[in-house]
Structure 1
Amino acid sequence: MGLSEELLNSNKKELIVDDCCTVIEAQLASKSGISGIALKTAFAALKGVKPGYIPYVVEQLLPQCFIALDPIWDEGVQKGDPVEHLVASRDRTADALLSVTDERVKQVKRPIVRGTYEKFRGSAKQHVEEAVPDLAKVIGKYTKE
């Protein structure tokens, strides 16, 4: 069973979305300096697109993200600890997640969303890699239930 089938059933999806949004907020809060201010400002602009926009986007992206992570997760299952394998493979995990967002942004019609993504895409991999341990914990939390 793939991650999307396992994690996105009706009684887990909302909780996973909430936890993923918490991970995003925590990652943003940990950023400092000029780049941190820029990220926080950009995120505030995205939140202002419409109420609930960030949870909506997370919910829309999760199925594709879990499908993209399936091969790495399956390797981890074979090795005995899929959560730790995602963390140990954070480079591949980040690439898999960014492949989903890269593809999705091509379909975005809102200039503020597309422009913001394109502006920060160059540094995105580092930020995603930093978030992988927390994301892996969220995934692990709901696969153990």
Structure 2
Amino acid sequence: MAQTLQEILLAPNRRPKVVEDVTKLVDSEVSDKSGVSGLAVKSGYALIKKINSSFVSDAVDSMLDNFVGRMEPYYASYKASGTGSFTEHLTANSSDVADALLGVTDDRAAGSRRDSVKKVYAKLRPQAKKHVEEALPRLGALVEEHAAAVNTG
């Protein structure tokens, strides 16, 4: 029975499905945005996808190890608590979880050689924490789904 996020999400036979699911999660989150800030997110996302159609899935795949590493302490504390769902645990700690996950993308954007990517990220970053916090229920459900599949299969 898998006990860590690394065992659940990074197993070679599971990783491609996780990358696909996280990419779909990002697409859904962007699609659901509304208002002026939503328009900015959608425009930036469309630009990134226009520059490179596989950029999002490639980025998810290349950062997945770091994202999992940043989420591992939250998963461990959820498992240790023995109560509720991982989704509930993430949302209860949404500010800290969002900061942890954004640390990965901040590092990645800073290291990008593409000025267009840096510009888009810099433009979107001020609102990013709110967007990440809003995505945590979907992320928690995604992790729970993969954990269930690993633990039953």
- Give the TM interval when normalised to the shorter protein: over 0.9
Runs of 4+ in structure 1 off by over 4 angstroms are: none
Flag structure 2 segments of 5+ consecutive residues without an equivalent.
none
Identity rate, percent: 32
Give a deviation string over 1:50-89, Cα, whole Å, max 9, x none.
2311100011111100101111111100111434212221
Which runs of structure 2 are paired with 1:1-145 in the superposition (5 Å)? 2-80=4-82, 81-145=85-149
Preserved CA contact (<8 Å) 1:76 1:84: no
Give the Cα–Cα distance (whole angstroms) in 1 for the partners of residues 6 and 62 of structure 2: 12
Preserved CA contact (<8 Å) 1:73 1:83: no
Flag structure 1 segments of 5+ consecutive residues without an equivalent.
none
Give the Cα–Cα distance (whole angstroms) in 2 for the partners of residues 144 and 87 of structure 1: 20
Would you say how many aligned residue pairs link Structure 1 and Structure 2?
145
Give the Cα–Cα distance (whole angstroms) in 2 for the partners of residues 34 and 95 of structure 1: 23
Q: 1:4, CA displacement in angstroms?
A: 2.4
Q: TM-score, normalised by structure 2?
A: 0.89
Give the Cα–Cα distance (whole angstroms) in 1 for the partners of residues 97 and 60 of structure 2: 17
Q: TM-score, normalised by structure 1?
A: 0.93
